[in-house]
A and B are shown apart, each in its own frame.
Chain A
């Protein structure tokens, strides 16, 4: 079975994947929003999505080895994300400090991506209004970049909320 979903929020993506295993479908492949599922026993696996953009290839290999030693499986990577699954209970981040670090990294990643898009935006707007016959194309890309910036910044906001919640829970503030 193949399902199409488009997630920016890794927590929502995990919920989706784990709801699918509840129904007896285990994700085996991902490509550009297309999730491929194979039959499994209901609740056979727990899926986790992790941010890997700060790890070198070597560090990632070490990390995957460590995760596999715990009995979990590396399903695949996709850009800055990696998918893992394990039979039974499965958590990658089990204390508040490491959860705060994770969401801080996620926030910073989306913040950097937003900044890059913001720098690209003026050239698209310029293309739209400089009277060239490509105006329609640049109108499209302008709208596209604005949408992406809004989505990325909303992820920055969401991560910040999450960090705040975790810190409050930890009694920092």
Chain B
């Protein structure tokens, strides 16, 4: 595997678009699931969404045509595959860490 590990921001954004979600909804979800630890800035989120779109990990789900243009994003199959790979990498990290410390 020569892919770089996901950054924390990218990982949490992917977790937030399992169901269709839009910019501010993603920020709020990340804040909620990290107990306010990560209050992601709009500049960071905007850049990260573009990175994920480019990598085809997420795609545009819908766009509100009337009034404000609110874009909704959803994870792709590739995104889910990457997420699963990351989670097993985390599991390995935790298992090895705990294994050493519990000795």
By a beta-carbon cutoff of 8 Å, the part of chain A in contact with chain B is 50, 61-63, 65-67, 69-70, 72, 91-95, 97-98, 101-102
Q: Across the interface, do A70 and B27 meet the contact criterion of CB distance under 8 Å?
A: yes
Q: How many A-B residue pairs have CB under 8 A?
A: 53
Residues of B within 8 A of A98 (CB): 9, 41, 43-44, 47-48
Stretch binding the partner chain, chosen from B65-73, B74-82, B85-93: B65-73
Top 9 closest pairs, chain A to chain B, by CB: A92-B43, A69-B24, A94-B41, A98-B44, A66-B23, A92-B41, A67-B42, A93-B43, A91-B41
Q: Across the interface, do B46 and A63 meet the contact criterion of CB distance under 8 Å?
A: yes
Main secondary structure of the interface of B (DSSP, over half): helix
Main secondary structure of the interface of A (DSSP, over half): helix
Q: Across the interface, do B7 and A66 meet the contact criterion of CB distance under 8 Å?
A: no
Residues of B within 8 A of A97 (CB): 7, 9
Say yes or no: A66-B24 contact (C-beta < 8 A), given A95-B9, A97-B7, A98-B43.
Answer: yes
Chain A nearest CB: distance from B27 CB in Å? 7
Name the CB-closest residue of A to B47. A98
Q: Across the interface, do A94 and B44 meet the contact criterion of CB distance under 8 Å?
A: yes
Residues of B within 8 A of A93 (CB): 41, 43-44
How far, in whole Å, are A97 and B10 apart by their CA atoms in the complex? 10
Q: Across the interface, do A69 and B7 meet the contact criterion of CB distance under 8 Å?
A: no
Q: Across the interface, do A50 and B71 meet the contact criterion of CB distance under 8 Å?
A: no
How far, in whole Å, are A126 and B66 apart by their CA atoms in the complex? 57
Chain B nearest CB: distance from A87 CB in Å? 15
Beyond the given pairs A94-B44, A98-B43, 6 more chain A to chain B contacts, judged by CB atoms under 8 angstroms and listed by A's residue number, are A62-B46, A66-B24, A92-B41, A94-B9, A94-B38, A95-B7
Tell whether B52 is near chain A: CB-to-CB under 8 Å: no
How far, in whole Å, are A49 and B27 apart by their CA atoms in the complex? 20
Residues of A within 8 A of B7 (CB): 95, 97
Chain A nearest CB: distance from B30 CB in Å? 10
Name the CB-closest residue of B to A98. B44
Residues of A within 8 A of B24 (CB): 66, 69-70
Tell whether B45 is near chain A: CB-to-CB under 8 Å: yes
Q: Across the interface, do B42 and A72 meet the contact criterion of CB distance under 8 Å?
A: yes
Q: Across the interface, do A65 and B69 meet the contact criterion of CB distance under 8 Å?
A: yes
